[in-house]
Amino acid sequence: MQKAIKIWFTLILMVIGNNLSQAQTIDTVCANGAERVYRVMPTPGSTYFWKIEGGRATTVQGLDSIGVQWAVSPGIYTIKVVERSKFGCLGDTVRAKVLVGRPVVTIDGKTDICKGQAVMLTANGARNYLWNTGATTQTIVADPHENTNYSVIGYTDICNPDTADFLVNVYDLPKADFSYSPKEPGVNEKVTFTYKGQNGKDWEWVIKNGTGFTKDNNKYVSEYTFTEGGDKEVTLVVKNKAGCIDSITYKFFIDDEAYIFVPTAFTPDGDNVNDFFKPVLTGVKTFELQIFNRWGERIKTLTGENDSWDATFRNERVQEGIYIYVLKAQGMNNRWYYLNGAIKVIY
């Protein structure tokens, strides 16, 4: 006749485990901890054969108890024991679970914050905690003003304490500012925006052109060409490594009126100073400038922004004196401009 036996542990311990009931788990121990002893209710004359998974038996077989030194590696291990009666009959194999663990304390929270911000740190992996701030709660709220290391000691009922460290980096707040050039931009003239602030890591340029918006991300310098005149605004949003944000907006006016300047004299004497005649044009789409001598003969026509006159006609230098120009230009605003006047050639 077979008889049921039951394994138990010599000490009363709190049972902890994942998806394990008390009926399955008879002990919870620390990895590589002290020796544990397990026993069954003895029957006179019976012999007991033990099998230890994940540990090493420290006492001899055959007894109603067994000493075990558990392994270093955490896990759920099984103890098996079979009873052989004095008549040589074998009973059923009895199994029991032992949870071998090691407390691993961790800290969760933000690693990067800005000056003036608070950070919440939460410890996990133990039953009780002691922070280097003196707090004994699982969660603390800190307000560091510089890079600060926080540590916590975690305590359990059965294992040695474990310690975790957590570094909180504190960053200066970003400052948003920028310059733009030229200071009085015109239509279809490229405008360059340059970041002039501090502590920025990411930049977002938001350019309002009429009723629409254009975004240009992660650039220290941004360029944009406004195709229409009127009031404009550009906003720079700056973010630092901790994710803190600052922004600034500048408003300015894009003049769509054409600017035309025609010099009244030049000195083509070869000294590299004012040797060429060239109009100055801004906000102009196309133009034509014709130059005539005193007899009405056309001696030069300028149509490109890089065109100029060196005071020659048919590869010969013209005489010193007065010449007439006639200019026709179409602005970016599609309006036409007409100018005429005199140019004086001086040697």
Which domain, by its residues, includes 286? 259-345
273 belongs to a structural domain: yes
163 belongs to a structural domain: yes
Query: Does residue 96 share a domain with residue 23?
Result: yes
2 belongs to a structural domain: no
* Residue that finishes a domain, picked among 230, 254, 278: 254
Would you state the pLDDT for residue 212? 65
Q: Per residue of the chain (347 residues), give pLDDT as tens.
A: 444 455 544 322 222 233 333 334 667 777 767 788 888 888 899 999 999 988 889 998 889 999 998 877 778 888 889 999 999 999 888 888 887 777 789 999 999 999 999 999 999 988 899 999 999 999 999 999 999 999 999 988 777 788 999 999 999 999 999 999 998 888 878 899 999 999 999 999 999 876 667 777 878 899 998 888 888 899 999 999 899 999 999 998 888 888 899 999 999 999 999 999 999 998 888 999 999 999 999 999 999 989 999 999 999 999 999 999 999 999 888 889 999 999 999 99
* Residue that finishes a domain, picked among 171, 195, 225: 171
CATH number at residue 60: 2.60.40.10
Query: Does residue 125 share a domain with residue 77?
Result: no
Query: Does residue 158 share a domain with residue 112?
Result: yes
127 belongs to a structural domain: yes
Would you state the pLDDT for residue 230? 84
Query: Does residue 91 share a domain with residue 132?
Result: no
1 belongs to a structural domain: no
pTM over 0.85: no
Query: Does residue 326 share a domain with residue 300?
Result: yes
Give residue-wise pLDDT tens across range 117-141: 999 999 998 889 999 999 999 999 9
320 belongs to a structural domain: yes
Number of domains in the chain: 4
Strands 298-302 and 259-261: unpaired
279 belongs to a structural domain: yes
Strands 265-266 and 336-345: parallel
Query: Does residue 19 share a domain with residue 97?
Result: yes
Q: How many CB atoms lie within 10 A of CB 238?
A: 24
Would you state the pLDDT for residue 40? 87
25 belongs to a structural domain: yes
* Residue that finishes a domain, picked among 101, 124, 144: 101
CATH number at residue 288: 2.60.40.1220
Would you state the pLDDT for residue 32? 66
Give residue-wise pLDDT tens across range 284-329: 889 999 999 999 999 999 999 899 999 999 999 999 999 999 999 9
Contact partners, residue 173, CB within 8 Å, separation at least 6: 114, 115, 116, 199, 240, 244, 246
Read off the amino acid at residue 68.
V
